[in-house]
Structure 1
Amino acid sequence: MSFYNMVQSEKPATLLEIWEAISTAFTHNQNEQFQITDPRHGDFTVHIEQYADFSVMNNIYQPRQETLHIPIRPQVPSLLMSFCLSGKPGLSGDRWEASYEANQALFNVFPARNSTYVLPANTQHEDLVIKLEMHTPFLEEFTSDSDDQLSNLLYKATIHEESLHSLQGNLTIDQTASEILAGIQKCPYTGKLREVYMESQVKLLLVHQLSVVHRLQHSNKPDTTAKLTKADQEKLQELKLYLESHFLEDHSLQSLTKQFGLNLFKLKYGFKTLFNTSVMKFIDDKKLQYAHLLLQQENVTVFQVADTLHYGHYNNFSAAYKRKFGYSPQLLRKG
């Protein structure tokens, strides 16, 4: 029974048919989109877009009664960038296993050897997976510069089929990666323009993930995400959402630690780790973006904007604005 027949058939799907559908979609390079809804085994949605040298997979699985162990048989070795959006899916192979949860990523070489995709029961799992085939022009473009550290990092991994990052050391999906992933999921284009856009976003994501791995491998400081519990990360996400709509208020690090139940270390270094910026710089950036909008209104003066944003002196506002946008606020008003 094919994927499409399975979706259209009124006959309940067997576990074997579900395994075959997901396994084939994961290992074959072709466009696929199917949904399996079975009252006994659960709901399974797979959407795959195949391009010349890579594929983009967005999967949502919700097994009901039992954990599913789906055999995966890759035809060729690939580089996988996997991003967990919900749940806790896993992969296992000969002498290794890995799992990741929401807001975590895996970045590894996936050898052409049998492995197993693990989906725990009674949980909705959603992940977005970018699969790049090894030894293709797409990856060779990144490994051609022997003097570049990121190129060397990728070259060693692809030649020796070694993991770029420990399977047990998951990466955090930071703000930059989140924005790129959102662009991939919400791509508004079709046809050739979509192909060009998706290729550019995958390249951006690859460079970013390489830089994150390189930074972790060469940093003397421990990865602060290891010190952040899931509850800590949820609090930091809540803090970010709060600041996005309360940036005009007078905040201090001390007041925010009390409000969100975080100590000063987790507030400062946790926020920096998750969102690649400090708390106060995040607030300042939101203020300046708001100032940029206000200055486009003819009935508002530069001095009024500076006062609205609670800058102690007009010159401080003007200097901060110029650092961010490259020109003074007065120049915008003249334009």
Structure 2
Amino acid sequence: MIVKVQNEQGGFDSYQNQYLIEVDQQAGVVQRKIIVPDPAAQWSITELSTDQFSIIYAFSELTRNIVVRAEQTKPSVRFFTQLAGHNLVRSSCQPDRPYQANQYSLMYTPAFEGDMQFSGSTVSTLVIEFADGYFGRFLDEGVEQLDRLAEKMDQQQPYAIIPNHSFATPAMKVIVYDILNCPFVGMVKRLFLEAKLLELIALQMDQLETTRLTGSFKSDDVDKLIAVKEWLNEHFLQPVTLLDVARSAGLNDFKLKKGFRELFNTTVFSYLTDLRMTYARRQLLAGKQTVSEVADALSYKHVQHFTYAFRRYFGYLPGGLRD
């Protein structure tokens, strides 16, 4: 992928020749890193590429809204997620696609040239591009969206497998975090990345079924259930009850419990647990908080209760992440 940043005169500057390039011959991985010297947006871009996939991560703290132009010359299936900030993607071959933080899409594009209009004090984006041949082995004629994808790939036409209003689940966020913080080198690194990418694809294929189920709900109820999920994403650190959640979206208990399970393939409190445990693991791995501080942030009265819940969820004690 070729990336250019819009300058103050309205033109686009390319920094491709400023990449620091490392090649791991054994693993077949090329790593490129660049710091874009824009006074309004110090972009940090890291790209890991193999013959089958590319992983591109970009991070910036902005002093103004900026536009980034991306060009892709080869067909690919692309997982695009906006990790932080807001982004409006515009291209000649597809409708405009706005993204909030944690929204993602999965789509096929025969080629791509478009602008990404970023806003927010901190923005970060992750793009994973799969070679169409690599992704083709997952096509299944028994799944309508995948059958449609195969048809579009044959016709070399763009197709959104999962639309851009989808939100990354806590499990997906854990995988993204693991990918961005891969501790390995050499062939072990490639095996680790491929395993995580396959896990991510599996979760996305599972979400296709969830997308199909939305047709059995009234659109108003779907909007309310999505609002519940967004409310949980913002309030998961505080103690909440089912009544709190139901009131936040104007749903009764029955509709909330039944609808949330059918739409998102999990219960309200299982999703809440996912959010809380993912937060705890992330904070401990980053060394930002102690076990006691994380327990307090999650409103546990006793640190032992948090330790038990963490071990039951992950299978190991939280203190092991700090050793």
The TM tier, using the shorter chain, reads: 0.5 to 0.7
Instruction: Please list the CA deviations of residues 222-252 of structure 1 after superposition, one character each: whole Å capped at 9, or x if unmatched.
Output: 576643677x555312543346xxxxxxx85
8 Å contact 1:73–1:113 — kept in the other structure? yes
Q: 2:34 and 2:46 mapped to 1: Cα distance?
A: 7
Instruction: Please list the CA deviations of residues 98-141 of structure 1 after superposition, one character each: whole Å capped at 9, or x if unmatched.
Output: 12011211111123143222223x5321111111122x2x2232
8 Å contact 2:232–2:272 — kept in the other structure? no
Look up the match of 1:201.
196
Q: 1:283 and 1:62 mapped to 2: Cα distance?
A: 29
8 Å contact 1:47–1:58 — kept in the other structure? yes
Give the TM-score taking structure 2 as reference length.
Answer: 0.64
The alignment status of 1:21 with 2:21, answered yes or no, reads no
* Structure richer in strand, relative to its length: 2
Q: Which amino acid aligns with 2:123?
A: H
Does the residue aligned with 1:177 lie in a helix, a strand or coil?
helix
Q: Specify whether residues 105 and 66 from structure 1 end up closer, same or farther in structure 2 by C-alpha distance, changes over 3 A only.
A: closer
Look up the match of 1:227.
224
Alignment of 1:88-167 (within 5 A): 88-94=86-92, 96-120=95-119, 123-134=121-132, 136=133, 138-143=134-139, 146=141, 152-160=147-155, 161-165=157-161
**Identity across the alignment (%):** 18
8 Å contact 1:61–1:124 — kept in the other structure? yes
Q: 2:128 and 2:274 mapped to 1: Cα distance?
A: 31
Q: 1:23 and 1:235 mapped to 2: Cα distance?
A: 44
Does the residue aligned with 2:128 lie in a helix, a strand or coil?
strand
Q: Which amino acid aligns with 2:101?
A: A
Q: Looking at CA atoms only, which structure, 1 or 2, has the larger radius of gyration?
A: 1
Look up the match of 1:33.
33
Q: 1:19 and 1:53 mapped to 2: Cα distance?
A: 28
Q: Specify whether residues 52 and 172 from structure 1 end up closer, same or farther in structure 2 by C-alpha distance, changes over 3 A only.
A: same
Q: Specify whether residues 128 and 24 from structure 1 end up closer, same or farther in structure 2 by C-alpha distance, changes over 3 A only.
A: farther
Structure 1 regions of 5+ residues with no counterpart?
4-12, 244-250, 287-307, 310-323, 325-335
Look up the match of 2:70.
72
8 Å contact 1:91–1:98 — kept in the other structure? yes
Give the TM-score taking structure 1 as reference length.
Answer: 0.62
Q: 2:259 and 2:85 mapped to 1: Cα distance?
A: 22
8 Å contact 1:142–1:154 — kept in the other structure? no
> How many residue pairs align between the two structures?
260
Q: Specify whether residues 267 and 77 from structure 1 end up closer, same or farther in structure 2 by C-alpha distance, changes over 3 A only.
A: same
Q: 1:87 and 1:119 mapped to 2: Cα distance?
A: 7
Does the residue aligned with 2:135 lie in a helix, a strand or coil?
helix
Look up the match of 1:277.
266
Following superposition, the deviation at residue 56 of structure 1 comes to 0.8
Instruction: Please list the CA deviations of residues 272-316 of structure 1 after superposition, one character each: whole Å capped at 9, or x if unmatched.
Output: 589752135568999xxxxxxxxxxxxxxxxxxxxx99xxxxxxx
Q: 2:18 and 2:161 mapped to 1: Cα distance?
A: 26
8 Å contact 1:150–1:210 — kept in the other structure? no
Look up the match of 2:84.
86
Look up the match of 1:52.
51
Q: 1:274 and 1:124 mapped to 2: Cα distance?
A: 31
Does the residue aligned with 2:138 lie in a helix, a strand or coil?
helix
Q: 2:41 and 2:113 mapped to 1: Cα distance?
A: 25
8 Å contact 2:77–2:109 — kept in the other structure? yes
Q: 1:217 and 1:23 mapped to 2: Cα distance?
A: 45
Q: Specify whether residues 91 and 282 from structure 1 end up closer, same or farther in structure 2 by C-alpha distance, changes over 3 A only.
A: closer
Q: Specify whether residues 177 and 270 from structure 1 end up closer, same or farther in structure 2 by C-alpha distance, changes over 3 A only.
A: farther
8 Å contact 1:109–1:162 — kept in the other structure? yes
Q: Specify whether residues 274 and 20 from structure 1 end up closer, same or farther in structure 2 by C-alpha distance, changes over 3 A only.
A: farther
